[in-house]
Structure 1
Amino acid sequence: MMVQLVDVVMKATRPMRSKVGLSIVISALALLSLTSWSLKSAEVDPNQLKFPQQYDSWQATEEQTERDDILAQYPANIILWAGSSFAKEYHSPRGHQFAVADVTHTLRTGVAIAEGDKGLSASCWTCKTPDAPRLIKEMGIQGFSGANFVDLGREIKSVVYCSDCHVDGSAELALPRPHAQNAMAKIKLPFDQQDRSMQGAQVCGQCHVSYYFQPENNNKVNIPWIFGSTADAIEKYYDTRRFYEWIHPISKTPILKARHPEFEHWSRSVHAKQGVTCITCHMPPATDEKGATFTDHKVGGALDNFDRSCASCHSSEAAITKKLDKTKANIDAKSRNVESLLIKAHYEAKAAWDAGATWPQMNDAIMAIRHSQWRWDFATASHGMYAHNPKEGIELLDKSTEQVTYAREALARILSQLSVTEVEYPDYSTKEKAHAAIGFIEADAIKAKQAFIKQEVDKYWQPVAKKGY
């Protein structure tokens, strides 16, 4: 741009190559240089200038590109989540830089909305971008949550950023999302009354927490902590309200869905009691080339930075890794066992319904399936459960096993009463076979999604919606 402007000035002043003309040229070039510098400075983010190390480490989350296809790893989940968008696509999370792009491209958020349909709530943007708090202020919480996800797509300009966690332009911590402010008030931990350590955990917890969309409140994000934040207390809240996310198409069970309840599990953990928070483990202190210490904003695994994250409490990386591996294997084994039992229960319920069972007969069994799957989900949906709170995870899975066993025993009696001697169970050994069992054609969904990306996202949405794709 600068070269083009200089060329224009030189051509325009060619007839004036006198001393006066030369001074005009020099002045013009000086003005252009100043203008160019000003424009360049205006493009630099103020936070980048004020907090360069933190900014650079935040940008480095763009390096965290790897993710796992959870449905391919654990195809049983497809059967358990049949009837919901989670059965379509479910990947492990990537770095913060991909928050907007991943929620844009996933099959869970669907395609353009047909005329007359409500579509997916804009609440799905709530934790992906600082544009969400901005839009909530502009539109009001009811207006924002009542809007459509696709309709607000063109408004989304930035990924998870400084202002999601800090008072803009400063290191002071903030909690900008209304659902988080309300939740902390419910459990009597208001943000402004906590020390900086707990505030830091709450900042992470405004998004790394389980929630649901309130159907009677324009699908506003709500954290269900009125009775407390344990699986039992949240279940009591949902059962009291007779709330369910969807009706399972196989068993007719009204299903509850847990969403990454990391904050809940951490809050009851040994780590929490010792004052060890999300930041301690996942954003440890780092040192720049000048020896200055700063908080590393490349949020990653604790063991990736053992010396900075864990060494003050754990003397051996090998020992803690071995312990975690053993715990993870135990939790994984319990999870796979519960999944198998739950799938059998869903299909045994189907066989009973098909044979003419009634709700008075089925109520106890169906509620036991609901409660068992809730506890399984509350344990397994939490990223890093085996490190955050393995004791609670094991207790949840053991209780889930007990509840689904009760459900199957009740269903066995009903099936006997109805003279049903054989139940057909699906082959869910692969993702493809599990999708076939629930009648989901992934290729068609991908085709529709790609058309939506090409016709809408690529043309009208901001570059942040395409990062990594």
Structure 2
Amino acid sequence: MIRRLSRTALNVTLLVSVMFSGQSLADTEIDLLQSADKAQFPAQYNSWAATEEQAEREDLLANYPANIILWAGSSFAKEYHSPRGHQFAVADVTHTLRTGVTPESGTKGLSASCWTCKTPDAPRLMNELGVQGFSGKNFTDLGHEIKSVVYCTDCHVKGSEELALPRPHAQDAMTKIHLPFDKQDTSMQGAQVCGQCHVSYYFQPESSNKVNIPWIFGNDADSIEKYYDTRRFYEWIHPISKTPILKARHPEFEHWSRSKHAKRGVTCITCHMPAATDKNGTEYTNHKVGSALAQFDKACSSCHGSQSKIEKVLDRDKKAIDKAARHVESLLVKAHYEAKAAWVAGASWPTMNDAIMAIRHAQWRWDFAMASHGLYAHNPQEGKVLLAKATEQATFSREKLKEILRVLKVKDVYYPDISTKEKAHQAIGISVEALTKEKQAFLKEEVEKNWSPITQRGYQYP
């Protein structure tokens, strides 16, 4: 039987280890706690560590350069990749061009809220600094404090299998929709644990940019849009069309919550963390979170008799959703530039209001669909409805703009060539080369010297 260290023994061991290792107390504590977790839960620990094998990712801006135009004016237009294994969560947010570099003295940079879902150090720092004290810091201010990547304590009470929901924004959101964590069965708690990060949110400007989940009216696209419109909230003003833009962020929990899977009690864990058996024949939950189809026999076969059949259905839905999304993107790109032509020709806000709001709402629904990883598997029906409505709204916007341009006697609208990522960046004046050079200098001088090695996982410095 494995005996766990008592708190007193752990503290003594910490002090001794620090004296002889040269490490900081925080680094040594993490090492010891991880050793204890590995000893007590070896199969779970090793499968968690194996997420480092999930290193592949796609450059989504290269795949879909129209997105650069839709996100013009925001950091999302700079760099946007598909997600990969949990082991890369801290390194990827550190290295992306979206998080930039240390801001000049006296200026406000990106909020530390960007660390919220990447590390258990975020809840720790919120406890130390207060939620708004944490979010009020710059992202780079707390880089040296980030010592661990997505870990056991993000989902469990320390040292045990008991599920936990450590992030305040998630606790608040579950209360809003009357699903408090402590009132749920283990299955739903498991989904909520994943949903504390795999969910859409925004940074609340009146509360020092703390993370907030906009579920007061509900968690579907219409209800969240109502919340934002009621507050007259926007994340940025689009530099081409002057549209007040909303941004969705990976709303997997929202889509799942209305899916056929959810109605049948099938959760994130059922599909992405199925039961496995260790070398001793003991069953455990596989923490190498990955594709359900890769483990069809364990994750899917109890409901789906044929892997080839379900793959055909998924492929059909993915193709349908991708086709609809590309169509919406094309409409929205044209609408943004047609709005620009109208403004240049002297259009007024009262004249433009309906067209601009239609762009806002169409882009929101497109984003709420496409920002969700695996929509075609989680809830393809909702995805198709969202994109159909987005098509309707974008078409309405263009019809309004066509009439405005006719009245203003504008005959030609300039649509730039955005057939590649490079051309789309050029169209909105982003120099990826300059941003990359600046970022590399920051990584070399600050991150490599002062931040934890986990911020470099999977990267090599030039």
- Report the TM-score when normalising by structure 1: 0.91
Deviation at 1:43, TM superposition (A): 7.8
Larger Rg: 1
Residue correspondence of structure 1 range 227-266 to structure 2 within 5 A: 227-266=217-256
Aligned AA (1:418) = L
Structure 1: give runs of 5+ residues left out of the alignment.
1-34
- 1:151-189 per-position Cα deviation (integer Å, ceiling 9, x unaligned): 100000000000000000000000000000000000000
* 1:87 corresponds to which of 70, 73, 77: 77
Alignment-derived partner of residue 290 in structure 1: 280
Q: Separation in 1 of the partners of 2:272 and 2:33?
A: 30
* 2:196 corresponds to which of 200, 206, 210: 206
Q: Separation in 1 of the partners of 2:234 and 2:212?
A: 14
Residues 1:173 and 2:163 aligned together: yes
Residue correspondence of structure 1 range 58-97 to structure 2 within 5 A: 58-97=48-87
Alignment-derived partner of residue 213 in structure 2: 223
Alignment-derived partner of residue 16 in structure 1: none
SS in 1 for 2:130: helix
Alignment-derived partner of residue 354 in structure 2: 364
- 1:61-89 per-position Cα deviation (integer Å, ceiling 9, x unaligned): 01000000000001010000000000000
Q: What is the percentage of aligned positions where both structures have the same residue?
A: 73
- 1:227-274 per-position Cα deviation (integer Å, ceiling 9, x unaligned): 000000000000000000000000000000000000000000000000
Aligned AA (1:129) = T
Aligned AA (1:173) = L
SS in 2 for 1:370: helix
Q: Separation in 2 of the partners of 1:247 and 1:60?
A: 41
Q: Separation in 2 of the partners of 1:398 and 1:138?
A: 46
Deviation at 1:115, TM superposition (A): 1.4
Alignment-derived partner of residue 11 in structure 1: none
Alignment-derived partner of residue 422 in structure 2: 432
Q: Separation in 2 of the partners of 1:448 and 1:146?
A: 24
Alignment-derived partner of residue 131 in structure 1: 121
Q: Separation in 2 of the partners of 1:111 and 1:118?
A: 12
Q: Separation in 1 of the partners of 2:354 and 2:318?
A: 32
Residue correspondence of structure 1 range 60-459 to structure 2 within 5 A: 60-459=50-449
Deviation at 1:142, TM superposition (A): 1.1
Aligned AA (2:449) = K
Aligned AA (2:383) = G
Deviation at 1:94, TM superposition (A): 1.0
Q: Separation in 2 of the partners of 1:153 and 1:146?
A: 14
Alignment-derived partner of residue 23 in structure 1: none
Q: Separation in 2 of the partners of 1:72 and 1:55?
A: 35
- 1:398-434 per-position Cα deviation (integer Å, ceiling 9, x unaligned): 0000001100000001000000011010111100000
* Cα distance change of structure 1 residues 273 and 113 upon mapping to structure 2, 3 Å threshold: same
Q: Separation in 2 of the partners of 1:253 and 1:142?
A: 29
Q: Separation in 2 of the partners of 1:101 and 1:319?
A: 37
Q: Separation in 1 of the partners of 2:89 and 2:35?
A: 20
- 1:65-121 per-position Cα deviation (integer Å, ceiling 9, x unaligned): 000000000101000000000000000111000100000000000011111211000
Deviation at 1:395, TM superposition (A): 0.2
Deviation at 1:44, TM superposition (A): 5.8
Q: Separation in 1 of the partners of 2:325 and 2:170?
A: 30
Q: Separation in 2 of the partners of 1:113 and 1:368?
A: 35
Structure 2: give runs of 5+ residues left out of the alignment.
1-19, 22-27
- 1:122-164 per-position Cα deviation (integer Å, ceiling 9, x unaligned): 0000000000000000000110010110010000000000000
Deviation at 1:302, TM superposition (A): 0.5
- Report the TM-score when normalising by structure 2: 0.92
- 1:267-296 per-position Cα deviation (integer Å, ceiling 9, x unaligned): 000000000000000000001111110000
How much is the aligned-residue C-alpha RMSD, in angstroms? 1.4
Q: Separation in 2 of the partners of 1:212 and 1:43?
A: 32
Q: Separation in 2 of the partners of 1:353 and 1:205?
A: 41
Deviation at 1:343, TM superposition (A): 0.3
Q: Separation in 2 of the partners of 1:168 and 1:115?
A: 38
Q: Separation in 1 of the partners of 2:132 and 2:222?
A: 29
Aligned AA (2:230) = T
Aligned AA (1:113) = P
SS in 2 for 1:323: helix
Aligned AA (1:151) = D
Q: Separation in 2 of the partners of 1:95 and 1:409?
A: 44
Deviation at 1:42, TM superposition (A): 5.1
